[in-house]
Structure 1
């Protein structure tokens, strides 16, 4: 931060001196030459940090950037997959509860999903409420949740 402050102070001081020089020079070709020279000095003052920087500091660490990018992509895929799995589990649970309600049963469902070929598929269901054979068959036929992966519990 001190480097930036020092650089900015130098640029402002240089601009002040160039402006002062511009005001003090007489009209005509002398003023044009003074403005041109002042502009060059101001540009050099602004670009001074590039001349004092080490080449190692200016070089980009492309391998490090590539590794960071790959790690961030993997992290994004994991978070995205977890979010998608949670949404699918929640919506499948709501679907089961709607089907149970249509059959006249009061059931609350918690669904677990598994990943298969890049897609999340309902794998297991914990059902809270009175066991319903019709709903169990429906879960097997429509969602592919086998009867042994359907766990019925009386209370939550």
Structure 2
């Protein structure tokens, strides 16, 4: 497609340069006027060449292919955006839990996993905590992040 556009623009440019040179060397009078008219028609043909060479059936086919390609790109973009959004939500949620753990004096490492809701937006679904279980942190995760204790995995021992 870009090669076609490039050759079309090159054809227009060459025609315009040749016509400008011819116009510059022509003597004034009727010959110059006739040359300008002819040159204008040649330049118009160079501009309209892609339209004149189109097959009548190829234009709808081209637009159909273009539309299908754009739909494929749109789907790929949506999938990529969804993955990026899930990664961001996981990172922000992990940082939030680590901050809350630090406030409570709990030493741990955190991994959060997301799931995509019916609306297509990912949300924090599961928390994996490498550290001893802490009731206050577990309740905070459940209340503030809506990750119930059943979806919290603790690698350490339970308190008391």
Shared fold, TM over 0.5: yes
Mean Cα displacement is larger for which, 106-115 or 28-37?
A: 28-37
Partner of 2:73: 72
Deviation track 1:34-74 (CA, whole Å, cap 9, x = no partner) reads 32233223333454454444334444533333332322222
Preserved contact between residue 22 and residue 34 of structure 1 (Cα < 8 Å): no
Change (3 A) 1:39 1:127: same
- Tell me the distance in 2 between the aligned counterparts of 1:11 and 1:116: 55
Q: Is residue 140 of structure 1 aligned with residue 146 of structure 2?
A: no
- Tell me the distance in 2 between the aligned counterparts of 1:65 and 1:5: 21
- Tell me the distance in 2 between the aligned counterparts of 1:63 and 1:17: 38
- Tell me the distance in 1 between the aligned counterparts of 2:90 and 2:34: 75
- In the superposition, the TM-score normalised over structure 2's length comes to 0.73
CA RMSD of aligned residues (A): 3.1
Change (3 A) 1:34 1:62: closer
Q: Which runs of 5+ in 2 are unaligned?
A: none
- Tell me the distance in 1 between the aligned counterparts of 2:136 and 2:89: 23
Number of aligned pairs? 152
Preserved contact between residue 11 and residue 45 of structure 1 (Cα < 8 Å): no
Larger gyration radius, structure 1 or structure 2: 1
Preserved contact between residue 12 and residue 43 of structure 2 (Cα < 8 Å): no
Q: Which runs of 5+ in 1 are unaligned?
A: none
Q: Secondary structure of 2:82's partner?
A: helix
Change (3 A) 1:15 1:56: farther
